[in-house]
Structure 1
Amino acid sequence: MPVTIPFDGLPALVGTELGVSSWFEVGQQRIDTFAEATGDRQWIHVDPQRCARESPFGGPVAHGFLTLSLLPAMLESALAIDGMRMGLNYGLDRVRFPAPLPAGSRVRSRWTLAACDPVDGGVQLTWSVTVEAEGGGKPVCAASFLVRAFA
């Protein structure tokens, strides 16, 4: 269940972890579908037999961009902003993939509001987001996610 935050209360919450997403499964079927959609069919993602023989990870791993593509759904599962009429993905800053994401893993994200800056008609929210795999030691992704929010 997402945490609900009032739109006009966002500036006071800068520096606060505001939510944790639901768990999302990243199975081989999702990885294969992403590979087909993007044309990125590198064997470390889509060839379980070769991965078992040659990969240092022991099996297929998800694309980094697949992990990033889950951010909007993870944000929606973690937080709801009361009074927000529309939100737009404005981009990403400093994206890192500190650990591989093995096929079949479950991931969730932690959302900290790093900045809330006024823009014409709304605010630009800078989210510090960390994506973790269940049972993993290191995050599989860490990024600054920029969202333009309009009341």
Structure 2
Amino acid sequence: MSKLIINSFEDFQDYIGKELGVSEYHQVTQDQINLFADATIDHQWIHTDPEKAKAEGAFGGTIAHGYLTLSLVPFLWNQIVQVNNLKMMVNYGIENLRFANPVKVNDEIRMHATLANISDLRGTIKTEMKVKIEIKGEKKPALAAQLIFLYHFQ
């Protein structure tokens, strides 16, 4: 799988309304869920107690935190696009975020990204990306959102 290479605002403009690509699959493990629980101090049993989640939960086992799935966006994004000639990139916002389907322990997820819009704000490039994180073997995505990134090219 090859990354899309973006070197400038003009390169981005060529992709308005087009899919930029799809990441590789990433398996979400119990260890990763536990580490996220420790980092966020969110140890709800549906995430961290496999026995109780299997016996009492609605999903047959533990599920990833929705925000863990969201936090994987930079990792997955970096598999899709390589933006060169940057001073920096800033996460600016998220619109219309929906957690549509829980990610169960050991599920494999991947991200689809489409460039919805781009604008030049006096040298700062604002991109609006429609992203969907799908779960292997599931019809409904884990999440869908519009992410806004600010790129400062050199």
TM-score normalized by the length of structure 1: 0.95
Corresponding residue of 2:4: 3
Q: CA RMSD in A?
A: 1.2
Structure 1 position 142, deviation (Å): 0.3
Structure 1 position 55, deviation (Å): 0.8
Q: Residues 62-82 of structure 1: CA distance to partner in whole angstroms, max 9, x if unpaired?
A: 001001101011111111123
Structure 1 position 85, deviation (Å): 3.5
Corresponding residue of 1:29: 31
In structure 2, the residue corresponding to 1:85 is in which secondary structure? strand
In structure 2, the residue corresponding to 1:139 is in which secondary structure? coil
Corresponding residue of 2:59: 57
In structure 2, the residue corresponding to 1:131 is in which secondary structure? strand
Corresponding residue of 1:107: 109
Corresponding residue of 1:130: 132
- List alignment gaps of at least 5 residues for structure 2: none
- List alignment gaps of at least 5 residues for structure 1: none
Distance across 1 between alignment mates of 2:137 and 2:152: 37
Percent sequence identity over aligned pairs: 35
In structure 2, the residue corresponding to 1:53 is in which secondary structure? helix
Corresponding residue of 2:76: 74
TM-score normalized by the length of structure 2: 0.93
Which ranges of 4 or more aligned residues in structure 1 deviate by more than 6 Å? none
